[in-house]
Amino acid sequence: MALRFSKTPRLLTLFFSLFFLIPLVTPVNFVVIQPGEGTPLFPKVLQVKNSDIRTYKPHGQAYLLSIWVSTADAKILGVEAIGCWARAECVLYPRSAFYKRNTTAVKEEKKALREMKLSQSDAMSATKNYLKKNFPTVDISKLSDSSLKVSLPDTGGPSGGLIFSIGLIDFFTPEDFLQGRKVAGSGTISADGKVGAIGGIAEKIIAAKQAGATVLFASRENCGEIPENVSGISVVAVSTLEEAMTYLRKAPHSNFRGVTGCTNLGA
C-alpha cells in the first residue's frame, strides 16, 4: 500500500504558531502603570536651610506617593502587556493618555521636574496663606522657596503639592497635626490652597497602604476613579488644603476604613 504524506498539518502548525507568537513579541501602544513607593518627608526629604526659621519636630510622618510609569521610549511587548493584565496591581493605559506624539523620555523627565518645582513653590505659597489666616503669630516673613532643601531624586510631577503643604504646616507650627499618625496625600495644590486631581489614584492608594499610612488625602476631583471597595486605610477626599488640615486637627479616635468626601460613593 502506498502512503502519501501531506505537508498541510505542518503548515497549519507553523501558521498557528506564528499567529499566536507574533503578537507576543510585537510592541503595543500602551504604557504600564504600577504602584510606586511612599516616601517619608521627615527628616531627610524636607529640610530648612535657614536656621533663623523656627521649626517643630513632627510627631508622626507624612508620605509623598508615587507611581511607576513606563517611559515614553519604552517598547511594551504583547507578552509584557499580558503579564501586566494578569497582575492585579498592574494597569495598562493607552500611550496617548500619558504622552504626546513624538515625545521622548528625556523631554518627559525634564517636564516632570519642572512640574515638581512649580508644585513645591505653590505648596509654599499655600502654606504661607494658611499660616497667615490660622496662625497669625507664626513668623512667615523669612519663608520662601529658597528656605527649603527638598531631596527627591528620580521623582517628578505636580501630585506632591498637597502633602508638601501638609508637611510644611506641621513643620512650622507648634500644633501637633499628625498626632502620631502616618498620613499620605496625593493631589496638586494651587497658591490659594485648592486641591486638584492627579493620575493613578488607585495605584497610589496601594502605595499608601504599603507604606503603612492610615490616612490618605486625595482630591475630590478624583472621586470618579477611587475604587468603591477601599479597605485598610481611610481615604479622605478634599477640595482645599483647609479641609485637609481641619480633618487632621480632629482627635484620631475613628477606626473607619474606606472613603469619605465622595458623594458618588455614598460617603
At 232 the three-state DSSP class reads coil
Question: Band of the pLDDT at 92, cuts 50, 70, 90?
Answer: confident
Q: Which residues are within 8 A (CB) of 230 and not within 5 positions of it... i.e. 6 or more apart?
A: 205, 257, 258, 259
Tell me how far apart the alpha carbons of residues 89 and 29 are, in angstroms, rounded to a whole number. 20
Do residues 59 and 178 lie in contact, with contact meaning Cβ atoms separated by under 8 Å? yes
Do residues 33 and 93 lie in contact, with contact meaning Cβ atoms separated by under 8 Å? yes
User: What pLDDT digit, counting tens, does each position of 93-142 carry?
Assistant: 888 888 888 889 899 889 988 999 999 999 999 999 999 999 999 998 88
Q: Which residues are within 8 A (CB) of 95 and not within 5 positions of it... i.e. 6 or more apart?
A: 29, 30, 31
User: What pLDDT digit, counting tens, does each position of 131-173 carry?
Assistant: 999 999 999 888 888 888 888 877 788 999 999 999 999 999 9
Residue boundaries of the structural domains of the chain: 36-66+109-256
CA distances (Å), 244 to each of 5, 91, 204, 238, in order?
77, 29, 18, 6
Residue-level pLDDT at 18: 46
With residue 134 as reference, give the H or E element that holds it.
helix 105-134
The answer to whether domain 36-66+109-256 has CATH 3.30.230.10 is yes
User: Residue range 83-98: average pLDDT?
Assistant: 81
**Is residue 14 pLDDT above 70, yes or no?**
no
Model's pTM, two decimal places? 0.84
CA distances (Å), 263 to each of 221, 243, 255, in order?
11, 16, 20
Do residues 184 and 11 lie in contact, with contact meaning Cβ atoms separated by under 8 Å? no
User: What pLDDT digit, counting tens, does each position of 16-55 carry?
Assistant: 454 455 555 567 788 888 898 999 999 999 888 887 889 9
Question: Band of the pLDDT at 180, cuts 50, 70, 90?
Answer: very high
Do residues 235 and 259 lie in contact, with contact meaning Cβ atoms separated by under 8 Å? yes
C-alpha cell, 134? 490660622
What pairs with residue 77 in β-bridges?
Answer: 27
User: What pLDDT digit, counting tens, does each position of 221-238 carry?
Assistant: 999 999 988 999 999 999
Residue-level pLDDT at 13: 59
**Is residue 253 pLDDT above 70, yes or no?**
no
| 75/197: higher pLDDT | 197
Residue-level pLDDT at 48: 85
Residue 52 CB neighbour total at 10 angstroms: 9
Question: Band of the pLDDT at 6, cuts 50, 70, 90?
Answer: very low
Q: Are strands 30-40 and 258-260 parallel, antiparallel or unpaired?
A: unpaired
